[in-house]
Amino acid sequence: MTTKEAKAAAKPPAISKKKIAENIAKVTLLPSANAAAIIAEYSKPFGEQDIAELMDVLRPQMQDVHGGNLNHCESMLVGQANALQSIFVSLARRAVNQEYLKQYEMYLRLALKAQNQSRMTLETLAAIKNPPVVFARQANINQGNGNQQVNNGTPAPTSHAGKNINPQNELLEVQHGSETLDNRTTGAASGKDKAMAALD
């Protein structure tokens, strides 16, 4: 193999602009990439962050959640609740030291927002640890012959051979002792309206 051939073989094939744009779009929509980009911006106190490394650390955590292991999520919620509690304490202390009502009110409002977020975070944690029990009111009964009966708690109305019966009306008829509730006599049919006759 000549030197020219070796160089040609070592050179990777050119990637089209469309393929590059497609790859960028895929990475941009990855949950691990999104999280890594934000973490990198907000984690400056810990030093300069490498987004690819952050993505590598985030992926196994996300896989754990897919597998049903929520230990890291629970730890994260406890950490967030504590961080929000610290924000609440700091803002409440600042509020106390304000001379003017406007600044006092602003700091106190922000402090109470942080306190509320901390409470909601702990509620989320409690819901994960103790999920609410849901009782189904539907019973599906299969009798082994392929037919399945579904009961939703309310019985189906019984058929009255074409007669439409309203139980409330039946009760009123029994109480008043009449066959119908309307005991007025039937009115006679009216004659032709003379004013309308001209239109015929």
Q: Is residue 11 part of a domain?
A: no
Question: Are 81 and 52 within one domain?
Answer: no
**Mean pLDDT of the region 107-132:** 95
CA distance 51 to 35: 9
Question: Is the pLDDT score of 144 beyond 80?
Answer: no
The pLDDT score that the predictor gives to residue 122 is 96
- Does residue 189 lie in a domain region? no
- The tokens for 124 are 């989320």
- Give yes or no for a contact between 33 and 50, defined as CB atoms under 8 angstroms apart: no
- In Å, the largest CA–CA distance within the chain is 117
Shared-domain flag, residues 104 and 94: yes
The reply to whether 197 falls in a domain is no
What predicted TM-score, i.e. pTM, was given to this entire model? 0.55
Task: Indicate the number of domains in the chain.
Answer: 2
Domain span at residue 119 reads: 70-131
Residues 61 and 101 placed together within one structural domain of the fold: no
pLDDT at residue 14, rounded to an integer: 79
Most confident of 9-18, 75-84, 160-169: 75-84
Q: Of 131, 153, 181, at which residue does a domain stop? A: 131
Count Cβ atoms below 10 Å from residue 69 Cβ, excluding itself: 12
124 and 75 assigned to the same domain = yes
58: tokens are: 């985030």
